[in-house]
Amino acid sequence: MFMNSESEFERLKMVMDNHAYTEAELKRMGDTREWMDQVTEDKKLELERMRETADEGGQFLYIENSEHLNFTDVQFISSIFKILGITGKVAPERANSVINAYMLDFFDMYLKNQGGTLMKGPDRRFPEVKFATSLL
């Protein structure tokens, strides 16, 4: 299982769509073309591993309104992180609940041979979780 933030999913999707960054985009991001070319190559390798995993029954999903740091305890320190965009708009408690539910279900399925219901696809209890495996 690959579980990503929405922003990381968007970056991966740009690589899948062969997005070519304009000079204005690079300037706005504060990155050089050489840097973004290397990041793109790294993301292509990451996508290849995801495809291999999906071919073996794995899942690729993301959590809407989340950022990378929603997958850490930083999200609980201060609400200023949400304002700064360091964490996403999802409430820290909700992000934590979603991540814990999916991780537990994943490990139950592959380590205990039980559960796995969340790995099968969208679940109405977790509408913010989006399965993107079909895009691979």
> How does pLDDT run across 101-112, given as a tens digit for each residue?
999 999 999 999
pTM reported for the whole predicted model = 0.91
**In the chain, how many H helices and how many E strands?**
5, 3
- Asked if residue 5 lies in contact with residue 65, where contact means CB atoms within 8 angstroms, the answer is no
Mean of per-residue pLDDT scores for the chain: 96
pLDDT digits (tens, 9 = 90+) for 24-68: 999 999 999 999 999 999 999 999 999 999 999 999 999 999 999
Q: How many CA atoms lie within 13 A of 65 on its CB side?
A: 12
Do 96 and 102 contact (CB within 8 A), yes or no? Answer: no
Residue 45 tokens, joined: 């390798």
* Structure confidence by residue, pLDDT tens digits, 69-83: 999 999 999 999 999
